[in-house]
Chain A
Amino acid sequence: MNPAFTFAGPAPTSELLNDYSNPGPLERPMKTTLVITEQCNLDCRLCYGMCKDAKARAELSIGEWRSVIDDLARSGVIWLYIEGGEPFLKAGFVDLLAENTPRMFTMVRTHGTLVDGALAARLKEIDVGIVLVDLWGATAATHDALTRTKGSFDRSVEGIRRLVAAGIDTQTLFILNRHNVKELQAYCDLAGALGATAVGILRLYPLGHVKEQWHELSLSLAEMSEALAALRAPPGLRIMQSWHPRNANCCWQMSAINAFGDSIGCAYLREYVNFGNVLHEPFLRTWKHPLGHQLRSGKVERSCGPCAATQGSHGGCRATAYAFHGRFDAPDPFDLELNNGVDLTTLPG
């Protein structure tokens, strides 16, 4: 093993063999989401980052990100999930990625519209782990309407083809909403035909400009459940979804930093928490923020038994729990067993 990149944790002991308990709060982070930029070449209705709005602060430069990632490595992080905006619009991003793939598993979330043959080959060469491509419909009409960018479907599909052809583990992401729900089966068939290894079906979050369109975009929990129950995975394609009974409380393992250096716990908590800015203090200090510790603890008002059994965590997503109830320990209303009559098509207040 390369000692320069080894986290100095305790050696295993035989005491560990007898106990396989659920995750507890980690002492140090192991996985971090980086919102590397809020620049984007699309104009998505489903944008959580408000990418097109004017910014009051400057984003972290590549040099600043380099220092932050060094700090993360020292803190024990070995897994980076990088998203935007559109990461490939950030000048210097691919070189930064290349510097870190020898020491961290990397996942990059992109719209794929900028992935040409040369970029796909470079990503393969630098050993990127997984590339996730946001594609939100089985047809150009649906996807382009959601991105408000004509031709984006064709460009994203072509990007997926190039990534797959380069031999990169490529997965697609589908944010389930009223405008694409009827295409879910055709979408998975398309993803399989394109050579994606997996489809991630994501819930809609009331963040950014999505809040203003929530009533029009959001499905009821019954509609979501019906669509997922009817779905049949094509051969060779893995379906990833986080609805009951696979609704995880991911907070225990997550950390995240936004494009401006704010430590925000999870990209979906971006509007609710700020543990401090990594330009001004070490990341680990922000990680130890009392609210961060509370979120990681899994201490919630109610837990769904089947989901706890499959996910080893309690209460479901904390971001949606907070969005609908205003409390970080509240039940996640996207969970069938925890919903308790909450209408998901209408945001509170």
Chain B
Amino acid sequence: MVSISQLFPDERLERRRDLVIRPLPEIKMCMVYRPRPARIVTLNPSSWMLLEICNGSTVAEIEKVYAAMIGGKGRAAGTDDVHQGLQSLVDLSLIRVCEKRAKA
């Protein structure tokens, strides 16, 4: 999937309200059903975590929360990794930009 947009730190992101999220802790994955149009997606723990954080916070805030959740465990995710993860969730229409960045 090719991203056609770029996220900015002050843009706010939120999960779609019609998603059905089915954690699969036994296999350390999460399955997400996104209706209209119907699609089922399996998320790895990093993407799953990002999805859970997207509650209307800004990209910059999400990065901070994500870094705090990771703590010292796992590979430290850089800003680029988080942006890429968020962009993938946008491309899959699992999250959306709920407040556009103010024009400069």
Of all chain A residues, which has the CB nearest B73?
A14
A7 contacts chain B at the CB level, 8 A cutoff:
yes
Contact A78 B38 (CB under 8 A): no
Given the complex of chains A and B, what is the CA–CA distance between A218 and B44 in angstroms? 40
Q: Which residues of A contact B40 (CB under 8 A)?
A: 78-79, 105, 129
Given the complex of chains A and B, what is the CA–CA distance between A16 and B47 in angstroms? 12
B46 contacts chain A at the CB level, 8 A cutoff:
yes
Of all chain A residues, which has the CB nearest B52?
A12
Q: Nearest Cβ in chain A — how far from B88, in angstroms? A: 16
Given the complex of chains A and B, what is the CA–CA distance between A76 and B20 in angstroms? 10
- Of the candidate stretches B3-11, B22-30, B56-64, B79-87, the one touching chain A is B22-30
Q: Which residues of A contact B52 (CB under 8 A)?
A: 11-12
B98 contacts chain A at the CB level, 8 A cutoff:
no
Q: Nearest Cβ in chain A — how far from B37, in angstroms? A: 7
Interface class of chain B by DSSP = mixed
B15 contacts chain A at the CB level, 8 A cutoff:
yes
Contact A105 B33 (CB under 8 A): yes
Contact A1 B21 (CB under 8 A): yes
Interface size (A, Cβ < 8 Å)? Answer: 36
Contact A105 B17, CB 8 Å, known A12-B49, A14-B69, A14-B70: no
Contact A16 B20 (CB under 8 A): no
Of all chain A residues, which has the CB nearest B77?
A17
A189 contacts chain B at the CB level, 8 A cutoff:
no
Q: Nearest Cβ in chain B — how far from A177, in angstroms? A: 30
A306 contacts chain B at the CB level, 8 A cutoff:
no
**Residue of A14, A18, A79 with most chain B CB atoms under a 10 A cut-off:** A14
13 other contacts beyond A2-B18, A23-B26, with CB at 8 A cut-off?
Answer: A5-B20, A7-B21, A7-B23, A16-B48, A17-B74, A21-B28, A78-B22, A78-B31, A79-B31, A104-B20, A105-B33, A129-B39, A129-B40
Please list the residues of chain A having a beta carbon within 8 angstroms of any beta carbon in chain B: 1-2, 5-7, 9-12, 14-27, 30, 76, 78-79, 101-106, 127-129
